[in-house]
């Protein structure tokens, strides 16, 4: 995207020296779609991602763990299914975000949950108790939380939640 068009949206929140997250979000909102369409597309996409992940963790957890280079003992499978139900519920919560009034609350809560999960996974990988493959999940959750917080922050500053 053209730098002269996005500099006005900068908030200084950068990924390395490459891109300002606020610039990207603002550019997407202003050039690709209006704010309401952005909310619907984002909430539906992220919600579907979690719904599908939750269903796989409930009904085919071995598939997920084989991708991440882990195995799960049979006694722990009920706990894995429970985690799947939780992930499914997080995905389902995004349906409430489709309501204009509920969006800020849903995005704040899911952003908080995702931030906690990202920090937890990074800590477990650094401690050596989980394989590095899980950093992809941490990055995904951290990115989703960051985008949601930035969008909400920008709208609060701009006066429109």
The per-residue pLDDT of the chain, averaged, comes to 82
Mean pLDDT is lowest, of 1-10, 61-70, 118-127, for 1-10
Residue environment code for 69-90, b if the CB has 16+ CB neighbours within 10 A, otherwise e: eeeeeeeeeeebeebbeebbeb
- pLDDT of 4 > 50? The answer is no
135-153 mean pLDDT: 93
- Please state, in angstroms and rounded to a whole number, the distance separating the CA atoms of residues 121 and 101: 32
Task: Say if CB 11 and CB 20 are below 8 A apart.
Answer: yes
- pLDDT of 29 > 90? The answer is no
- pLDDT of 94 > 70? The answer is yes
Task: Say if CB 161 and CB 152 are below 8 A apart.
Answer: yes
- Please state, in angstroms and rounded to a whole number, the distance separating the CA atoms of residues 120 and 61: 20
Q: Helix or strand or coil: residue 134? A: helix
Structure confidence at residue 9 as a pLDDT band (50, 70, 90): very low
Query: For residues 145 and 14, which has the higher predicted lDDT (pLDDT)?
Result: 145
80-95 mean pLDDT: 95
- pLDDT of 123 > 50? The answer is yes
- Please state, in angstroms and rounded to a whole number, the distance separating the CA atoms of residues 135 and 121: 7
Supply φ then ψ for residue 16, to 5 degrees.
60, -140
156-160 mean pLDDT: 58
Structure confidence at residue 74 as a pLDDT band (50, 70, 90): confident
Supply φ then ψ for residue 15, to 5 degrees.
-100, 105
């Amino acid at each position: 995207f053209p730098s002269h068009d996005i500099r006005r949206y900068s908030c200084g929140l950068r990924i390395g020296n490459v891109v300002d997250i606020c610039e990207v979000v603002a550019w997407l909102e202003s050039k690709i779609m209006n704010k309401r369409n952005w909310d619907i597309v984002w909430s539906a996409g992220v919600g579907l991602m979690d719904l599908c992940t939750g269903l796989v963790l409930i009904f085919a957890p071995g598939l997920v763990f084989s991708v991440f280079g882990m195995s799960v003992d049979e006694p722990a499978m009920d706990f894995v299914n429970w985690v799947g139900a939780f992930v499914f519920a997080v995905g389902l919560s995004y349906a409430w975000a489709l309501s204009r009034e509920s969006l800020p609350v849903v995005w704040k809560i899911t952003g908080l949950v995702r931030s906690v999960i990202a920090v937890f996974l990074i800590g477990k990988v650094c401690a050596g108790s989980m394989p590095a493959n899980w950093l992809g999940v941490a990055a995904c959750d951290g990115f989703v939380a960051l985008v949601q917080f930035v969008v909400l922050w920008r709208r609060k500053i701009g006066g429109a939640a």
